[in-house]
């Protein structure tokens, strides 16, 4: 069967399941007796196993299967979950993730899992006596599919059936016969499974799914389905698949199976009839259980779209925006009323469209946040610290382009907080704090920005240490140090060539300091600020723009050239008389609201060809970078505009003080000034 | 050249000063008329700037400057040839582009050792077709990273 088109879906869904495994396992650690969570984990593991077996990734399926066995033991209360077991299981999940990533990168998803499998086996056998029969059973089942499927059920499957029965699902044995002249048997099987999975969960199939995929069966196969649908509906739905000849559906109860096992075979129908009665009597109660169903309904409302398509849509829309600009100009010139009205209407609609498209590209920060609890747990273990992580506002949405970039800086800051911020349990106790450190991740919207805060209740930042270090590392001089405000002092730890860790640990402080964080965030048009109180903790706050693809700029003209300055970095604009410009050590400065602000001439920085006479007045744009300010001397202000940010292409990379380009309404390209690189 | 057609290479012929050059058609995306070029400051001399090529910001190189030929005014016949190489999309300003011809593989000779001031590394070979002498360019070298490096060193200074 052609698998490629399913591969993408497989990878996406596997990632989701692995993430959900990670999340739930962590919750489980805190709450080891919660059946609900164990079931949730079980479900993810089970789906993952099924999917990987279908796709033919044996190692993946094998490892998941072993994991499932351990989880099953936990579920049946044969095993009590503890940190050690969880470590092994989490380790297994890591391997699963590595395999899935390998598959995503075009690999074959093979990985040596023997040692892990052995460990899982140990756990499983160490405290429980789960028979290995389940494995051999499954192997054999492909051969003896002629006998009743019920006989081949292993303990675990029976447990599932039992449980589903308790939850008022009905257990159905469905035998599907394909037409004798059916050519693409595997494809039909796939379609049937597709149908079945929509209405319930397939517990078992005879022959096995793999055998079915490889067409190793005659014309008939049997599956066990757990569902709430009515039998006749299921039958009708399966019959919709072409080339299906016959569908027989028998429902049965676990009780029946147990009897069945005793009596060998032959009397399925008897017990089936019994259970049918049971089903009928339980039907009335099913309404209560609808909560679990509503989840699937929500899932059905979303579709997966390749991100490339969204990008393409965005590009096309940008084109439209440019043309819209031209249309507006033309209609203004023509002053034709009807045309103007139409253009206005179009502008409004395309504005709405723009919002929708932008929203489509928004993803919750959860995508980045969700891996942190795992990381924090590991780090805390490595450093022998006790840390609780609290995540707030994980549903805050950010543009995908921003999400892709902020992962690493956040990891860096969290590592920093855990390593340098939160003290060891002994020290904490000595200082009268609870031994468990608190790491808080907050995300929220404010205006056109998204804020992400990483706060800890650790030692805080020692101002003196920072200053001493900065002086000894030559970041500042001692004269400068005395004049710095608290905030400025904290900012020093973001400077390059600075690292306060006294012992270099594996976790952070390998020389590549927090300046990497600062640079990355600033290149995204955001900034980092730090607040701290000695002994109480620190807060690292990151401010990020909502989107990177459309920005508000101030268009200015310098001689004959047009430049765009991002509004986010502008404080205000001013027009000053030539006489107001002062000179300080050969540098032009102005007195701006009581502050001395250095001036930068765009004309000189960009070597703009001189065409016009010198003016008596200077147009100045006051820009800022953190707490620093500068004035840009430009020619004239054109106005504020929303523009679509475009890159200069791969050929011109890292052009000084230019962060990109945009296309103006008249079709010309205007360069966007990177104000951050103009201020040192 | 990338394709090894056993007999012929289809090439676009363009003119710089008095000489004729050839690029494989497979590398050419389109040929544009001269249009407004936005200067990009602090890049190397031969980078003229960027244009809006149907919504894509495309860098433009002045081939005359790249090859060390003296500048001339742009005329009605001046063209921008858009080339695609290794994912790079770059426009080249040439004096004129007017012909597509098939060059027999056999007519291509390695570049002559003595070719004056022009660096030899971006010349793939010379072909004599009828009475015309065509210079085959290795576009990768023309846009080579060496130049990009020079660009960067300029920026950082």
Lowest mean pLDDT among A278-282, A426-430, B131-135: A278-282
Structure tokens at A477: 């001089």
Average pLDDT taken over every residue of chain B:
79
Look up the ipTM and state it.
0.79
A315 catalytic per annotation: no
Q: What's the topology of domain A141-286?
A: Alpha-Beta Plaits (3.30.70)
Domain ranges of chain A: 1-130, 141-286, 307-361, 364-545, 550-677
Is residue A130's pLDDT more than 80? no
Closest CA–CA distance from residue B113 to any residue of chain A (Å): 30
Kindly report, residue by residue over A82-92, the tens digit of the pLDDT. 777 788 888 88
Mean pLDDT for the stretch of residues A270-276: 46
- Interface check for A678 against chain B (CB to CB < 8 A): the answer is no
Q: How many residues are listed for chain A in this entry?
A: 680
Q: Does the beta-carbon distance from B51 to A319 stay under 8 Å?
A: no
Q: Does the beta-carbon distance from B41 to A319 stay under 8 Å?
A: no
3-state SS assignment for residue A246: strand
More confident site: A307 or B64: B64
- The residue of chain B with its CA nearest to that of A651 is B88
Residue B113: the pLDDT is: 66
Residue A667: its chain B contacts at CB < 8 A? 36, 52
Residue B60: the pLDDT is: 92
Residue A414: the pLDDT is: 87
In the structure, what pLDDT confidence band is assigned to residue A79 with cuts at 50, 70 and 90? confident
Residue A663: its chain B contacts at CB < 8 A? 52, 55, 57
Cα A351 to its chain centre, rounded Å, is 28
- Interface check for A383 against chain B (CB to CB < 8 A): the answer is no
Mean pLDDT for the stretch of residues A462-491: 79
Q: What's the topology of domain A1-130?
A: 1.20.120
Mean pLDDT for the stretch of residues B23-34: 89
- Interface check for A318 against chain B (CB to CB < 8 A): the answer is yes
Mean pLDDT for the stretch of residues A303-313: 78
Give the nearest partner residue to B155 out of A608, A649, A656, using CB atoms. A656
Residue B6: the pLDDT is: 60
Mean pLDDT for the stretch of residues A411-440: 86
The 10 Å Cβ neighbour count of residue A242 is: 12
Q: Does the beta-carbon distance from B39 to A647 stay under 8 Å?
A: no
Residue A155: the pLDDT is: 67
Average pLDDT taken over every residue of chain A:
76
Give the nearest partner residue to A661 out of B57, B87, B148, using CB atoms. B57
- Interface check for A315 against chain B (CB to CB < 8 A): the answer is yes
Is residue A250's pLDDT more than 70? yes
Kindly report, residue by residue over A398-424, the tens digit of the pLDDT. 887 788 888 888 888 888 888 888 888
Supply angle C-alpha A121, A122, A125, rounded to 5.
80
Is residue A377's pLDDT more than 50? yes
More confident site: A336 or A680: A336
Give the nearest partner residue to A561 out of B39, B89, B151, using CB atoms. B39
Closest CA–CA distance from residue B101 to any residue of chain A (Å): 29
CA distances for A220 relative to A138, A184, A215, A243, angstroms: 18, 14, 11, 12
The candidate with the shortest Cα–Cα distance to A548, out of A401, A404, A679, is A401
Mean pLDDT for the stretch of residues A433-456: 85
- Domain at B8-156, CATH from 2.40.50.180, 2.40.30.110, 3.30.70.270, 3.40.140.10: 2.40.50.180
Q: Does the beta-carbon distance from B55 to A318 stay under 8 Å?
A: yes
Mean pLDDT for the stretch of residues A563-579: 87
Mean pLDDT for the stretch of residues A142-167: 61
In the structure, what pLDDT confidence band is assigned to residue A228 with cuts at 50, 70 and 90? confident
A530 close to A539: Cβ distance less than 8 angstroms: yes
Kindly report, residue by residue over A594-619, the tens digit of the pLDDT. 888 888 888 888 888 776 666 678 88
Give the nearest partner residue to A668 out of B52, B54, B156, using CB atoms. B52
Please give the share of chain A, as a percent, with pLDDT higher than 70.
82
Quote the strand ranges of A141-289, DSSP E: 170-178, 200-206, 220-227, 244-251
Supply angle C-alpha A22, A25, A29, rounded to 5.
140
CA distances for A540 relative to A409, A421, A523, A531, B60, angstroms: 11, 11, 18, 7, 43
Mean pLDDT for the stretch of residues A497-503: 56
- A:547-566 residues touching chain B, CB 8 A cutoff: 561-562
Domain ranges of chain B: 8-156
Is residue A111's pLDDT more than 50? yes
* Phi/psi at A497 (5° precision): 80, 25
Is residue B150's pLDDT more than 90? no
Residue A284: the pLDDT is: 39
Q: How many CB pairs under 8 A join A and B?
A: 83
Q: Does the beta-carbon distance from B151 to A661 stay under 8 Å?
A: no
In the structure, what pLDDT confidence band is assigned to residue B93 with cuts at 50, 70 and 90? very high
Which residue, chain included where needed, has tokens 């995908």? A400
CA–CA distance, A151 with A154 (Å, rounded to integer): 8
Q: Does the beta-carbon distance from A671 to B38 stay under 8 Å?
A: yes
The residue annotated as part of the active site, out of A62, A69, A171, A416, is A416
- Interface check for A649 against chain B (CB to CB < 8 A): the answer is yes
Is A364-545 a domain of CATH 3.30.565.10? Answer: yes
Mean pLDDT for the stretch of residues A571-592: 85
Please give the share of chain A, as a percent, with pLDDT higher than 90.
2
The residue annotated as part of the active site, out of A17, A24, A62, A68, is A68
Q: Does the beta-carbon distance from A671 to B40 stay under 8 Å?
A: yes
CA–CA distance, A540 with A525 (Å, rounded to integer): 17
Residue A409: the pLDDT is: 85
Chain B residues contacting A via beta carbons under 8 Å = 36, 38-43, 47, 49-52, 54-59, 87-90, 143, 148, 151-152, 155-156
Mean pLDDT for the stretch of residues A8-29: 81
Q: Does the beta-carbon distance from A663 to B52 stay under 8 Å?
A: yes
CA distances for A495 relative to A60, A346, A463, B124, angstroms: 45, 48, 15, 48
CATH number of the domain at A550-677, please?
Answer: 2.40.50.180
Is residue A473's pLDDT more than 80? no
Cis peptide before A207 (omega within 30 of 0): yes
Residue B46: the pLDDT is: 85
Q: Does the beta-carbon distance from A607 to B42 stay under 8 Å?
A: yes
More confident site: B77 or A106: B77
- Interface check for A667 against chain B (CB to CB < 8 A): the answer is yes
Strand partners, A387: A437
Mean pLDDT for the stretch of residues A295-311: 64
A431 catalytic per annotation: no
Give the nearest partner residue to B89 out of A649, A669, A671, using CB atoms. A649
A416 catalytic per annotation: yes
3-state helix, strand, coil in chain A (%, to 5): 50, 25, 25
Residue B50: the pLDDT is: 92
């Amino acid at each position: 069967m052609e698998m490629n088109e399913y591969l993408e879906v497989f990878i996406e869904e596997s990632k989701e399941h692995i993430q959900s495994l990670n999340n739930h396992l962590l919750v489980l650690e805190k709450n080891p007796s919660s059946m609900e969570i164990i079931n949730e984990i079980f479900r993810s593991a089970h789906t993952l196993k099924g999917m990987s077996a279908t796709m033919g990734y044996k190692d993946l399926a094998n490892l998941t299967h072993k994991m499932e066995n351990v989880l099953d033991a936990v579920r049946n209360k044969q095993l009590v979950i503890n940190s050690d077991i969880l470590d092994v299981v989490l380790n297994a999940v890591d391997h699963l993730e590595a395999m899935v990533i390998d598959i995503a990168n075009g690999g074959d998803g093979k990985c040596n899992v023997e040692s892990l499998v052995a460990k899982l086996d140990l756990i499983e056998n160490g405290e429980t006596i789960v028979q290995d029969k389940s494995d051999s059973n499954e192997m054999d089942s492909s051969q003896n599919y002629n006998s009743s499927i019920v006989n081949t059920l292993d303990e675990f499957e029976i447990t599932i059936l039992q449980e589903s029965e308790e939850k008022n699902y009905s257990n159905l044995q469905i035998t599907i016969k394909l037409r004798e002249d059916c050519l693409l048997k595997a494809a039909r099987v796939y379609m049937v499974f597709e149908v079945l999975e929509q209405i319930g969960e397939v517990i078992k199939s005879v022959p096995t799914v793999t055998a079915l995929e490889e067409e190793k069966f005659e014309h008939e196969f049997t599956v066990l389905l757990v569902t709430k649908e009515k039998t006749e509906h299921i039958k009708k739905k399966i019959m919709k698949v072409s080339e299906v000849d016959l569908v027989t559906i028998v429902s049965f109860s676990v009780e029946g199976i147990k009897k069945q096992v005793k009596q060998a075979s032959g009397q399925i129908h008897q017990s089936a009839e019994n259970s049918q009665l049971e089903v009928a009597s339980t039907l009335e109660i099913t309404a209560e259980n609808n909560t679990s169903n509503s989840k699937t309904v929500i899932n059905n409302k979303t579709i997966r779209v390749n991100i490339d398509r969204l990008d393409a849509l965005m590009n096309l829309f940008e084109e439209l925006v440019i043309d819209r600009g031209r249309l507006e100009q033309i209609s203004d010139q023509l002053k034709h009323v009807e045309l103007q009205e139409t253009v206005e209407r179009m502008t409004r609609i395309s504005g709405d469209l723009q919002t929708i498209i932008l929203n489509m590209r928004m993803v919750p920060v959860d995508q980045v946040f969700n891996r942190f609890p795992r990381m924090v747990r590991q780090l805390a273990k490595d450093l022998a610290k006790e840390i609780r992580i609290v995540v707030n506002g994980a549903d805050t949405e950010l543009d995908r382009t921003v999400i892709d970039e902020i992962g690493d800086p956040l990891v860096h800051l969290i590592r920093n907080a855990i390593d340098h911020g939160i003290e060891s349990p002994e020290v904490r106790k000595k200082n009268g704090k609870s031994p468990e450190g608190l790491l808080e991740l907050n995300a929220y919207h404010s205006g056109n920005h998204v804020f992400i805060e990483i706060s800890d209740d650790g030692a805080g930042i020692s101002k003196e240490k920072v200053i001493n270090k900065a002086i000894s590392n030559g970041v500042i001089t001692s004269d400068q140090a005395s004049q710095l405000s608290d905030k400025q002092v904290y900012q020093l730890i973001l400077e390059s060539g600075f690292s306060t860790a006294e012992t270099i640990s594996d976790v952070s402080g390998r020389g590549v300091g927090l300046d990497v964080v600062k640079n990355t965030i600033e290149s995204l048009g955001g900034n980092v600020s730090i607040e701290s109180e000695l002994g109480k903790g620190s807060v690292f706050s990151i401010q990020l723009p909502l989107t990177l693809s459309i920005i508000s700029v101030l268009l200015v003209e310098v001689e004959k050239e047009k430049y765009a300055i991002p509004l986010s970095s502008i404080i205000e604009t001013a027009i000053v008389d030539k006489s107001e410009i002062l000179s300080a050590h050969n540098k032009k400065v102005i007195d701006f609201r009581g502050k001395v602000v250095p001036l930068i001439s765009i004309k000189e920085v960009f070597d703009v060809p001189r065409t016009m006479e010198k003016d008596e007045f200077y147009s100045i744009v006051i820009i800022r970078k953190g707490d620093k300010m500068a004035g840009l001397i430009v020619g004239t202000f054109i106005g504020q505009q929303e523009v679509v940010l475009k890159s200069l292409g791969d050929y011109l990379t890292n052009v000084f003080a230019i962060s990109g380009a945009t296309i103006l309404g008249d079709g010309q390209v205007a360069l966007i000034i990177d104000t951050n690189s103009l201020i040192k | 050249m990338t394709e090894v057609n056993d007999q012929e290479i289809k090439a676009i012929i363009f003119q710089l000063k008095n000489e004729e050059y050839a690029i494989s058609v497979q590398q050419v995306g389109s040929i544009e008329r001269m249009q407004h070029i936005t200067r990009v400051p602090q890049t190397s001399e031969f980078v003229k700037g960027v244009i809006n090529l149907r919504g894509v910001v495309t860098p433009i190189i002045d081939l005359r400057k790249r090859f060390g030929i003296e500048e001339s005014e742009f005329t009605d016949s001046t063209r921008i040839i858009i080339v695609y190489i290794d994912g790079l999309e770059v426009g080249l300003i040439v004096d004129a582009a007017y012909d597509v011809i098939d060059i027999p593989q056999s007519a291509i000779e390695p570049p002559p050792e003595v070719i004056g001031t022009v660096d030899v590394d971006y010349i793939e070979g010379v072909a004599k077709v009828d009475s015309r002498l065509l210079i085959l360019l290795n576009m990768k070298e023309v846009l080579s990273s060496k130049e990009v490096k020079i660009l960067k060193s300029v920026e950082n200074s």
